[in-house]
């Protein structure tokens, strides 16, 4: 990408899209194209084709998706598979048809088998059964990376696919029903501190392990890959270590300054026991994450108090 490149960020207001916008704006790119959901419905193929024909972007960050945590995914599987299949199919097809030079597709670590050996290598894809709580979303994302692969094979279209681990950071969703664990815990402990609540409830047993990558590290890697990687292999991106949900809850409580009791609601699902990614492929390309989990949670909490607390 050069300064005058026409760059389209699909999903520019989301957690990932917002971080990508911050990253490429900081680099001084002059023509960054965005559309809000009201301006362009990415589930409408004709509207997407017309948009690409008019705007002719050269580079596309496909960060638009319907995302959510374990409860949202297990409650609305039809919405997750339908919207994600439509969005990615429309954007990949229109990008190819309109002559986009390169598209970056973003998947998720939940594409891998529930009980894959850890850390998870890219080649473990489709070697076992998926985690039931997010199977619909996972299959949509597997279809997306497969479509990128097929368009490269049949048409020589330069699409690359990045599979991030669990993400967090400024601009996250803090709604307690639809969010992921880290923003949910930040909000729960913050509100409990303010209200003086004696306990905070954490879902599940607290034993599952999760890996967390700050979204600014992801955006840095996305810009790096857009410039440096033109291969057909999917790339995992993580930080190389994980924590248990119980450890995470204790860490967030300490950062927020909550001193009450943590209780576990085992009627809520644990989801997959572990999904630590092997990111040696990406590391071998020369990229590495910079934001440590504790620092990332501290800065995200500061952002939440300044912005999120009013919204949610």
Per-position x/- string for 31-70, each x denoting binding to ligand GFB as judged by CB under 6 A, each - no binding: --------------------------------------xx
**DSSP element (H, E) containing 10:** strand 6-10
Site for ligand GFB in 242-261 (CB under 6 A): 245
Residues in contact with ligand GFB, counted by CB under 6 A, come to a total of 24
Return the residue nearest ligand GFB (CB atom): 69
Q: Which stretch binds ligand GFB (CB under 6 A): 16-24, 114-122, 227-235, 263-271?
A: 263-271
Identity of the residue, 88 or 108, whose beta carbon is nearer to ligand GFB in the bound complex: 108
Identity of the residue, 23 or 275, whose beta carbon is nearer to ligand GFB in the bound complex: 275
Q: Nearest Cα to 188, choosing from 245, 109, 273, 108?
A: 245
Cβ contacts of 235 within 8 Å, gap of 6 or more = 122, 160, 161, 162, 163, 225, 229, 279, 281, 282, 285
Q: Provide, rounded to whole angstroms, the least separation between the CB of residue 136 and ligand GFB.
A: 9
Q: Are 163 and 235 in contact (CB under 8 A)?
A: yes
Identity of the residue, 48 or 276, whose beta carbon is nearer to ligand GFB in the bound complex: 276
Residue 171 sits in the site that holds ligand GFB (CB under 6 A): no
Task: Candidates 52, 73, 77, 289: give the one binding ligand GFB (CB under 6 A).
Answer: 73
Site for ligand GFB in 101-120 (CB under 6 A): 108, 110
Identity of the residue, 179 or 236, whose beta carbon is nearer to ligand GFB in the bound complex: 179
Which tokens in the block code for residue 57?
């972007």
Q: Are 104 and 88 in contact (CB under 8 A)?
A: no
- Residue where the block lists tokens 């033109």: 230
Three-state secondary structure call for residue 118 = coil
**Which active-site residues does the annotation give?**
137
Q: Provide, rounded to whole angstroms, the least separation between the CB of residue 257 and ligand GFB.
A: 19
Q: Are 261 and 186 in contact (CB under 8 A)?
A: no
Q: Nearest Cα to 238, choosing from 273, 289, 272?
A: 289
- Residue where the block lists tokens 């601009």: 171
Summarize as ranges the residues that interact with ligand GFB (CB under 6 A).
Answer: 69-71, 73, 108, 110, 133-134, 137, 166, 179-181, 184, 202-204, 208, 210, 245, 268-271
């Amino acid at each position: 990408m050069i300064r005058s490149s026409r760059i389209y960020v699909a999903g520019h207001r989301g957690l990932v899209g917002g971080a990508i916008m911050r990253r490429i704006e900081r680099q001084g790119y002059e023509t960054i194209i965005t559309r809000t959901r009201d301006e362009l419905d990415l589930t409408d193929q004709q509207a997407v084709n017309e948009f690409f024909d008019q705007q002719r972007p050269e580079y596309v960050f496909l960060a638009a998706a319907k995302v959510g945590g374990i409860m949202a995914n297990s409650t609305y599987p039809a919405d997750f598979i339908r919207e994600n299949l439509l969005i990615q199919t429309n954007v990949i097809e229109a990008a190819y048809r309109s002559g986009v030079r390169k598209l970056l597709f973003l998947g998720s670590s939940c594409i891998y088998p529930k009980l894959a050996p850890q850390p998870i290598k890219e080649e473990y894809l489709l070697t076992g059964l998926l985690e039931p709580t997010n199977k619909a979303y996972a299959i949509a994302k597997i279809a997306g990376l497969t479509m990128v692969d097929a368009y490269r094979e049949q048409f020589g279209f330069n699409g690359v696919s990045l599979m991030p681990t669990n993400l967090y950071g400024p601009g996250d969703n803090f709604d307690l029903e639809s969010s992921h664990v880290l923003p949910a815990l930040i909000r729960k402990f913050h509100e409990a501190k303010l209200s003086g609540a004696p306990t905070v409830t954490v879902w599940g047993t607290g034993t599952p392990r999760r890996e967390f990558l700050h979204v600014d590290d992801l955006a840095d890697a996305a810009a790096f890959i857009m410039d440096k990687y033109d291969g057909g292999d999917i790339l995992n991106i993580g930080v190389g270590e994980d924590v248990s949900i119980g450890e995470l809850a204790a860490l967030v409580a300490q950062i927020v300054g909550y001193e009450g009791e943590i209780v576990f609601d085992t009627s809520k699902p644990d989801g997959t026991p572990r999904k630590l990614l092997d990111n040696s492929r990406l590391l071998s390309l020369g990229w590495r994450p910079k934001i440590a989990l504790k620092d990332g949670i501290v800065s995200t909490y500061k952002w939440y108090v300044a912005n999120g607390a009013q919204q949610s």
